[in-house]
Structure 1
Amino acid sequence: MRGGSAVAALATLTLAACTMGPDYKNMPGYGQGSGERIDGSRLGGYANPSEVAATDIAFSRAARDDGQWTAFRRFAADGAVIHGRNGPIDADPWLAAQDDPPAPVQWTPTAVWSSCDGSVAVTQGKFAEPEGQWGYYVTVWERQRDGRYRWVYDMGAPDDQLTAAENARRDSTPTGENAIVIRAIEAIEGRVADCSRSYEAVDISNISAEVSETGGRSSRDNTLAWGWAQFADGRRTLNLLVARNGSWEQALQFRINSDGKHVSDQ
């Protein structure tokens, strides 16, 4: 998950949210009965990273407008899990017991990876807590039978470098009645796995003596694979592999230290 108020509620979770985006209530990712009907031809198998990004943005807008945990429940797939400090927990019973906080975490995706057939996609982005702390998150999405994307896995953590950079940028923003501030909308990078050949299934479980638990799975067409690992000391990782040019390429390694902080590669 993502965010500070979440950590305060359950000291194991991190969450995210975004204040900008399209009218989410008219998007395919919103609600169970809204949006246009999607027929079976839509499920035949093609990547659509822009739809995944739009769904993540709709998710964040719903968190702001309708309530943080209400949105998490609405956009979750059956069997979704949230990876906390002590390992993944079943989202459904945990979310059912949560009341929406007065101020939600805000988040936005910055990158999307999709399998060739679009059955599985992964978003990475950054979040801001109401108290001013920033961090990164990663969410795994699966296309459902009705064609909509729903999240199946979520993990995130505060990042000290990002917090310092964002707060410094905020402090340097001009103020006053004559100030004009234009904040650029962050570009979202979309990547699709190789569709030109078939690939063997791959096991990316991070096996070592320090790992206490692992999990994950592949897309239906075996062009994207993701796996998480839980370490005995509280460290957590998610590894993402994408098929490219005849082999498997590591597209992302998302790491959280035992102190609950995101490990920045910068």
Structure 2
Amino acid sequence: MTARLGLLLLGAAALVAAKPPLRFQPDPSSVIAAEIAFNRLAQEKGQWTAFAQTAADDAVMFVPQKVVAKEWLKKQANPAASVRWSPSVAYVSCDGNLAASTGNWTRPDGAVGYFTTIWRRDKKGRWQWIMDHGDRLATARATPEFLSGKVATCKRGPQGDAPPPSSVKQGDAPPPPDESLIWTADVATDGGRQVTVRMWTGAAYETVIDDKVRAES
């Protein structure tokens, strides 16, 4: 009896360990909510504190050179007043695990600009940012009347083509991305950069964000 009970317990433990990863609905409103909470945290706790608390361990940012965010942030003191920002639109991958948001920011001195943030769900399903960048503008972008969100399609193309699958990662790493939402951040030798986000439509990739930042003179 004792041996059988031991086997049952081992079997139950194996089932728990083998349970599939959490699945999430591709919900743009949850990304908008994460951005709003991110901004609120910056106003309450300090700008760089908020960035550090919401960043993934592998997150990157540009200052203007590309840096590992958490390593850079731990050396920074919060400014007296934080920049304020608000999202305009969010794009989410088919599997609901990756997202991109973009919108406007305003500094305490009145300067305006835009931002783009790439978000990824952690093992508990919380959104963490993995790339953040932006640039100053002479005039703020028009603010939409309503916040909007779009979800990448899961459908294959007319010829059966689909986004290329990533190789499966081992261990307790998160499942590979479905690649219905992909992004790149290319830095030029002169310090300029281009951040691009593309979304799978079922037949091709549509460019939904294409930010170009000139090198600082």
TM-score category of the 2 structures, normalised to the smaller one: 0.7 to 0.9
1:68 aligns with 2:31: no
Match of 1:145 among 123, 138, 142: 123
CA RMSD after TM alignment: 2.4
Give the Cα separation in 2 of the matches to 1:221 and 1:91.
25
Q: If the length of structure 1 is used for normalisation, what is the TM-score?
A: 0.65
CA shift digits 1:151-201 (9 cap, x unpaired): 000001110122xx89xxxxxxxxxxxxxxxxx995211010012237232
- Which amino acid is the alignment partner of residue 200 of structure 1? P
Give unmatched runs, 5+ long, in structure 2.
Answer: 1-18, 166-175
Structure with greater contact order relative to length (CA < 8 Å, sep ≥ 6): 1
- Structural mapping, 1:196-235, within 5 Å: 196-197=155-156, 199-201=162-164, 220-235=177-192
Q: Percent identity?
A: 33
1:194 aligns with 2:153: yes
Give the Cα separation in 1 of the matches to 2:100 and 2:21.
19
Query: Tell me, what secondary structure is at the counterpart of 1:70?
Result: helix
Cα gap change, 1:130/1:42 in structure 2, threshold over 3 Å: closer, same or farther?
Answer: farther
Residue pair 2:154, 2:202 contacting (<8 A) in 1 also: no
C-alpha displacement of 1:79: 1.1
Aligned to 1:23: none
Aligned to 2:133: 155
Query: Tell me, what secondary structure is at the counterpart of 1:57?
Result: helix
Give the Cα separation in 1 of the matches to 2:20 and 2:91.
22
- Structural mapping, 1:217-256, within 5 Å: 220-256=177-213
Give the Cα separation in 2 of the matches to 1:199 and 1:73.
36
Match of 1:44 among 1, 14, 23: 23
Q: If the length of structure 2 is used for normalisation, what is the TM-score?
A: 0.79
Aligned to 1:175: none
Number of aligned positions between the proteins:
186
Give the Cα separation in 1 of the matches to 2:177 and 2:26.
12
CA shift digits 1:77-122 (9 cap, x unpaired): 1111112323x10111211111111111000000101101111100
Aligned to 2:13: none
- Which amino acid is the alignment partner of residue 140 of structure 1? I
- Structural mapping, 1:28-43, within 5 Å: 43=22
- Which amino acid is the alignment partner of residue 164 of structure 2? A
Aligned to 2:7: none
Give unmatched runs, 5+ long, in structure 1.
Answer: 1-39, 167-183, 203-218, 261-266
Query: Tell me, what secondary structure is at the counterpart of 1:52?
Result: helix
Moved over 3 A (4+): none
